[in-house]
Amino acid sequence: MSTRTVYYIEGDGIGPEVWAAARPVLNAALEKAYAGANKLDWKELLAGGKAFKETGEYLPQVTLDTLSNADLAMKGPLQTPVGKGFRSLNVTMRQTFDLYACIRPIKYFKGIESPVKRPDLVDIVVFRENTEDVYAGIEWSSNSPEAKRVIEFLVDEMGAKIDSSAGIGIKPITPAGSKRLVRRALDFALEQNRESVTLVHKGNIMKYTEGGFLKWGYELAAEDYAGKVVRDGEEGEGKVIINDRIADAMFQELLMRPEKYSVLATTNLNGDYLSDALAAQVGGLGLAPGVNMGDKLAIYEPTHGTAPTIAGKDMANPGSLILSGAMLLEHIGWNEAADLIKNSVEKSLAAKKVTVDLSSQISGAATVGCKEFGEIILANL
């Protein structure tokens, strides 16, 4: 018998609703697959609005201390309080625990009527660098003393041409940060027998940041993956092809030729855009799972936000959180339970009784609430 501890954060907005619908599905899948031999021990941690109500803090130290010694966690969406000292609760957690890889598998489920002609060709895993780039949060507002000081230095010392009223942001991208992200993508492609890893960048314009990401990714492949990875167009034996695409061209490629791509490794901002755009091709964020992962801790979470306009109305789609749970089960090797969940989601979509975000995309579908959709997925296990 194996029991794994999973710390969970309920989240804000629709978080409590999707949790109430999702957790029974995960527990039931484990029971069906292993008859009690494998279990998850759920332990709640506080963050966001619920934490503030109970402790007066949005991100209590006990939560940070517990997660610093954990390996598995799940969380609902968190709303960052305005003017309360945090740029973003989500980004703070990623940076605090060095969760440098945001991993999002995007694959079509039968039954979804997509805005593109061949959504079934989409089977792509996005590895998005999670701690650097413009998300590092190094910026100063227009006309602030800090911005003026930086501008003065750049103009006087570096010869830059910048309007004195500009807001200023810094975009750090490092060799170490880039290489560890690309390493995860390459290792995944090799382990899962994926055909290629595509480095997505804007290095034609931002030559020393985005271009650095590209350069360092290729360097890593050449130095550490000889005989395993080969560059596109080069001769040699290799199980995985590594190539690259400029970010704006990549959007067109994913719309017109998604079958040519298998794994994407991207800088932070590009990965944010691309993974959301891919999700839209296969049903939207309601069915888009994800994980923010470091070398020790992995936090699985839905890719949608708190959706405050529908919070408490039993309208939210719990699918993203349920499928994130399936990712967690795969990560710890409990693939039988994960497969039960994914098959049940597809069977539930075929029955055409779905939440409003999906019923608007499926002809003849009936709209059900968050709770009922979770119950349908549970029954279809």
| Residue 87 pLDDT | 65
**What three-state secondary structure class fits 193?**
coil
The pTM of this model reads 0.92
- Size (the chain), residues: 381
132 and 177 Cβ atoms separated by less than 8 Å: yes
Per-residue pLDDT band at 199 (split at 50, 70, 90): very high
**58 to 36, 98, 242, 370: CA distances (angstroms):** 36, 19, 42, 26
- Is the pLDDT score of 315 beyond 80? yes
CA distance 214 to 224: 16
Positions at the binding site for Mg(2+): 272
**pLDDT band at 305, cuts 50/70/90?**
confident
Annotated active-site residue in 272, 300, 342, 357: 272
- The average pLDDT across 368-379 equals 96
248 is an active site residue: yes
Please give the annotated binding residues for NADP(+), written as ranges. 317
- What is the per-residue burial (b if ≥16 Cβ within 10 Å, else e) of 234-249? eeeebebbbebbbbee
pLDDT for position 85: 55
Among the ranges given (37-51, 86-100, 198-212), the one the predictor scored with the smallest mean pLDDT: 86-100
**Binding-site residues from annotation:** 88, 90, 94, 104, 128, 272, 317
Alpha-carbon gap, residue 294 to 62, rounded angstroms: 20
Residue with tokens 């596109």: 232
Under the banding of pLDDT at 50, 70 and 90, the label for residue 283 is: confident
Amino acid (1-letter code) at residue 372:
E
The mean pLDDT of 180-204, rounded to a whole number, is 96
Task: Assess whether 357 carries a catalytic annotation.
Answer: no
Which residues contribute to the annotated binding site for D-threo-isocitrate? 88, 90, 94, 104, 128
Q: Where are the domains of the chain?
A: 1-102+288-380, 114-129+173-282, 134-170
Between CA 60 and CA 126 the distance in angstroms is 31
Q: What backbone phi and psi angles, to 5 degrees, belong to 163?
A: -65, 140
Residue 370, helix vs strand vs coil: helix
Q: What is the pLDDT of residues 252-266, one digit of tens each?
A: 999 999 999 999 999
Which of 7, 58, 108, 135 is the catalytic position? 135
CATH architecture of 114-129+173-282: 3-Layer(aba) Sandwich (3.40)
Using alpha carbons only, give the angle 331, 289, 193 rounded to the nearest 5 degrees.
50
Q: How far apart are CA 381 and CA 25, in angstroms?
A: 8
Concatenated DSSP letters for 254-290? Answer: HHH-GGG-SEEEE-HHHHHHHHHHHHHHTT-GGG---
Q: What value does the mean pLDDT take over residues 109-127? A: 90
DSSP 234: -
Note the pLDDT tens digit of each residue in 53-92. Answer: 999 999 999 999 999 999 999 999 998 766 555 668 888 8
The candidate with the shortest Cα–Cα distance to 240, out of 185, 183, 194, 180, is 194
Given this model, what pLDDT does residue 91 score?
A: 83
Residues linked to residue 229 through DSSP beta bridges, in sequence order: 240
Q: Judging by DSSP bridges, how do beta strands 72-75 and 298-300 pair with one another?
A: parallel
**pLDDT single digits (tens) 318-372:** 999 999 999 999 999 999 999 999 999 999 998 999 999 889 888 889 999 999 9
Does 243 have pLDDT greater than 80?
Answer: yes
Q: What is the pLDDT of residue 236?
A: 67
Q: Is 98 one of the annotated active-site residues of the chain?
A: no
What tens digit of pLDDT does each residue of 219-232 get? Answer: 999 999 998 999 98
Enumerate residues 6+ apart whose C-beta is below 8 A from 233.
Answer: none
Show the tokens assigned to 195: 């055909």
Joined together, the tokens standing for residue 376 give 């349908």
The dihedrals phi and psi of 33, each to the nearest 5 degrees, come to -75, -35
Which member of 65, 232, 248, 295 is catalytic?
A: 248
Range 1-102+288-380: architecture per CATH:
3-Layer(aba) Sandwich (3.40)
Structure tokens at 73: 């966690």
CA-CA-CA-CA dihedral for 250, 254, 258, 262, to nearest 10:
50
Told to judge if 135 belongs to the known catalytic residues of this protein, a careful annotator would answer yes
Say yes or no: do domains 1-102+288-380 and 114-129+173-282 share a fold. Answer: yes
Structure tokens at 64: 């940070």
Quote the percentage of the chain above a pLDDT of 70: 97
262 vs 190: CA distance, rounded Å:
12
- pLDDT(157) > 80: yes
Predicted local distance difference test score (pLDDT) of residue 113: 81
Q: Which of 202, 225, 244, 300 is catalytic?
A: 202
C-alpha dihedral, 265 to 260 to 334 to 33, nearest 10°: 150
In which residue are the tokens 């691309």 written? 274
Confidence at residue 90, expressed as pLDDT on a 0 to 100 scale: 85
d(CA 16, CA 235) in angstroms, rounded, equals 53
Mean pLDDT in residue range 267-276: 94
